[in-house]
Chains A and B, each alone.
Chain A
């Protein structure tokens, strides 16, 4: 027993010194063979499965070196021992049907007796230890020999098992460090944390080491600030790589001063050219002008950003296009529709669903109401924009649980800029940006979209959201959605003759208790006298649009456009 103990200690020490399981196995086998008084021995390791794998000799001692010898799992006496997970004591090898005589012939050797024990830890089969021909006495192995070899095999198996575990741990450690490095590189793609005076700033808390979300912003040559926030489908490394690609495209193309709708169109084309199949990115891009408080926003399939007006109201701004990564030929192509907002001292929050679907303290989802509550409290407490979104991120980490999804929030806050602008804003606004001469008070939403059928869905969402926010019933809102859709169809089909090459602007506002929609195009003037609802008794396709508008709205007027160009239609409904 002391020999066995000594062997164990020697194996442990050798492995600790060399960290090399191969040389430890060779050394152990040599000592075992000598200790057992055997002529030769071999240590076989099972590679692959128990059924379809193979047994490879890793250590050999004695007159014949069989290292590297490979036999199918289950074959020979070694294979039988492994397959049955039971020892084999063979006294007459030459007459055992499992014994392969080829080796003996090759090396001019005669195998007489064999003692073979499986190497296994719990249920995991690692291989087998085999010794051949006892040197002393009758050359046969005894029951005592078997007991001793089994004890030695148990120690050897444990040493191999531990070495493997240590190797796997080391490998996992390398992967973990690589992932951390990737996370670090990703964080480097995000802008640094916002200061208290920054009007635009963001926060990102990945749920795992790497994130599928990102945000970015930078100042353009004239003081306007380009910004983006996006959420890549899926998690893990491929999402992180697509995130890095999209972020780089925004940085690169964003500096070309493209309009946000065209920027998203370009990014989509680039992503689609090389996209990983089935992956997409929901993305918001915009430009904020601190000199006017104006934001031009384009949304490709992302969660509607939330406008928090200076009056305390919340308005979601819907998506205008499918996500980035869906091939343009499937969606009709063209630039993504844009919404023009006047923050007017308010703030715009762009965020991922990790925020509203995240767990707040208490374990319930934060939800849209919870998110709005945190913003409202932050404003009431006089927190800076950066501190406000930091508080939102902290609230989601508060539950003590791991984050459910990546949490990313971007804020564009116009309060400080508005204070600096004072009352002069309107006079300083560039003439090209003035949609009409009407006062800005009560502007709910302005959309600038290509006059194409695909833009109408964005118009409908804008009408639906603003009408509901004005207190119209669901039915009334749906009616007005139809009316505005019909009016825009007339622009697409008649004013531009279905060519799809022009733009239109839809300005939705609240004025003196009325809900007003101004639809502007830049086509040749339309002969107003020819526009009339048709006789409904005459059942034929077409011509229903104007009838719908008149039926639903309180008033429909063609008014002269401010600069005499194009057409301007004014729809009105009392709130």
Chain B
């Protein structure tokens, strides 16, 4: 699993790739919360994620709620078939703000 952070129009784009499971999701959680607590709005680029489990989804939910409470934007982008299926199983596809591409997410602010 790998995490890369870049900046686009004042937003932090956190690109996650590989398998997000119980052994790797704490790193995703720390990376997302770190950016939000640092005062940034966040776009999570999930295009490289081949697997995500409930602990990975939990990291996204926690980050989403933290961002909301601080008035920061938080959205998901480029969600592939496999992670999207898990979000749907959790009925979270209706909760998260999801964009087709990182560009669209950045434009939406």
B-contacting residues of A (Cβ < 8 Å)? Answer: 332, 452-454, 456-457, 460, 475, 478-479, 481-482, 485-486, 489, 492-493, 536, 539-542, 544-545, 547-548, 551-552
Contacts and interface: CB of A to CB of B under 8 A. Distances in A.
Interface stretch (B4-12, B36-44, B53-61, B99-107): B53-61
Nearest to A493: B22
A489 B54 contact: yes
A456 B90 contact: no
A5 B23 CA distance: 83
Interface in B33-90: 51, 53-55, 57-59, 61-62, 65, 82, 85-86, 89-90
Nearest to B21: A456
Given A539-B95, A548-B89, A489 B23 contact: no
Given A460-B51, A478-B85, A485-B53, A544 B23 contact: no
Given A478-B82, A548-B54, A552-B89, A541 B23 contact: no
Contacts of B89: 479, 482, 547-548, 551-552
A542 B65 CA distance: 13
Contact of B54 (A332, A453, A457, A545): A545
A540 B23 CA distance: 20
B53 A489 contact: yes
A352 B54 CA distance: 36
A475 B85 contact: yes
B76 to A, nearest CB: 14
Nearest to B95: A539
B85 A541 contact: no
Contacts of A460: 19, 21, 51
Given A453-B21, A539-B65, 18 more contacts: A452-B23, A453-B23, A454-B23, A478-B82, A479-B89, A482-B89, A485-B21, A493-B22, A539-B61, A539-B92, A540-B61, A542-B54, A544-B54, A547-B89, A548-B54, A548-B86, A548-B89, A551-B89
Given A460-B51, A540-B61, A542-B58, A489 B22 contact: yes
A547 B90 contact: yes
Main secondary structure of the interface of B (DSSP, over half): helix
B22 A544 contact: no
Contacts of A481: 51
B81 to A, nearest CB: 8
Nearest to B19: A457
14 contacts: A453-B23, A460-B19, A475-B85, A478-B82, A478-B85, A479-B89, A493-B22, A539-B65, A540-B65, A544-B54, A544-B58, A547-B90, A548-B86, A552-B89
B98 to A, nearest CB: 15
A532 to B, nearest CB: 15
Contact of A492 (B22, B82, B86): B22
Given A489-B53, A536-B91, A457 B21 contact: yes
Nearest to A455: B23
A213 to B, nearest CB: 29
A539 B66 CA distance: 13
Contact of A541 (B22, B59, B82, B95): B59
Given A478-B82, A486-B53, A541 B58 contact: yes
Contacts of A540: 61, 65
B91 to A, nearest CB: 5
Nearest to B57: A544
A545 B95 CA distance: 18
B28 to A, nearest CB: 12
B96 to A, nearest CB: 10
Nearest to A539: B95
Nearest to B82: A478
B52 to A, nearest CB: 9
A332 B23 contact: yes
Contacts of A551: 89
A154 B57 CA distance: 82
Nearest to A475: B85
Given A475-B85, A482-B86, A541-B61, A453 B91 contact: no
A423 B22 CA distance: 43
A456 B85 contact: no
